[in-house]
Amino acid sequence: MCEETRLPANGGNNDSALPSGQGDSGDQPEDLATGGSVIDSQADDAVGSQGPSASQVRRLDTRLRRLTRAYLNQTNRLESYLQVVTACQKQTAEFANHVIERHALHPAVETVDFLATLIGQLNEQAAPLVEGQMCCPVFQSLLDSIAEAAKMALAKREYLDIESMCPEPLDEFDSEGSEIRQAVCTDDPDKHRRVERTLIAGLIYRGTVLRRAKVSIYRHTEQKPQD
């Protein structure tokens, strides 16, 4: 009942079954005939699998240089900021030390020197009583306490490196360690600007003049001849 479909005698390899232009084995597609684009893409894939291309290396190098410059700029700015901060800290510390020394330390040193001087004077006044045995035995403990306090005050002055500065008479006037409070006229030119006496002793703390001595000096004046 059904008609049989017969295949061609060549086993189905009929050139008419293929599109026109593709029947000959010598006619290949254009990309295969040229052998260019397919090979180049495969070569690019091979290069990409082996490592970055030259253009990628150049781009990475440019980016690395840009980042390096930015890093160096930031580092220089940071160093500048650190220098400013260090200078500010140094100035702040110097100012704080100056304020503390001027308003706290120096007055305390002057007070210690003043009290030590008073205790030494009191001990000197009490010494004749002890030597002459003119004191009552009841006050002996008090005198002993004064002598012990004088020793402690002297030791404390030495420990703190506190020295009194008291120019001697006829010493050359030194403006760095002394200041003039009064002048005494003299007709002797050799005594001009020499110390007549010390009014208030100066104070040296750790090698630095903390308080200059107040002195009286001689001032040479020529005597007018009397008629």
Average pLDDT over residues 121-139: 72
Give the amino acid at 183.
A
Across the chain, what does the average pLDDT equal?
Answer: 78
Confidence of residue 100 (pLDDT cuts 50, 70, 90): confident
3-state SS class at 140? helix
Residue 210 lies inside a defined structural domain of this protein: yes
Residue 175 lies inside a defined structural domain of this protein: yes
Domain that holds residue 226: 163-227
CA Rg value for the chain: 54
Residue 176 lies inside a defined structural domain of this protein: yes
Average pLDDT over residues 34-57: 57
Give the amino acid at 145.
S
At residue 64, the pLDDT reads: 92
Average pLDDT over residues 31-41: 43
Closest by alpha carbon to 216, among 152, 164, 166? Answer: 166
Beta bridge partners of 209: 204
Residue 209 lies inside a defined structural domain of this protein: yes
Please state which of the ranges 83-87, 130-134, 145-149, 200-204 shows the lowest mean pLDDT: 130-134
Confidence of residue 124 (pLDDT cuts 50, 70, 90): confident
Average pLDDT over residues 5-23: 45
Q: pLDDT tens across 162-193, in order?
A: 998 999 999 999 999 999 999 999 988 899 99
Residue 55 lies inside a defined structural domain of this protein: no
Please state which of the ranges 27-36, 89-98, 111-120, 165-174 shows the lowest mean pLDDT: 27-36
Strand 162-165 to 202-205 pairing: antiparallel
At residue 198, the pLDDT reads: 93
User: Maximum Cα–Cα distance for the chain, whole Å?
Assistant: 184
Residue 95 lies inside a defined structural domain of this protein: no
Residue 182 lies inside a defined structural domain of this protein: yes
Q: pLDDT tens across 135-156, in order?
A: 566 677 778 888 899 899 989 8
Q: What is the CATH number of the domain that holds 209?
A: 2.30.22.10
User: Rounded to whole angstroms, how far apart are CA atoms 31 and 37?
Assistant: 7
Please give the tally of structural domains in the chain.
1
User: Rounded to whole angstroms, how far apart are CA atoms 195 and 217?
Assistant: 4
Measured in residues, the chain has a length of 227
**Strands of 213-220's sheet, edge to edge?**
178-186, 213-220, 195-200
Structure tokens at 181: 């409070």
At residue 146, the pLDDT reads: 86
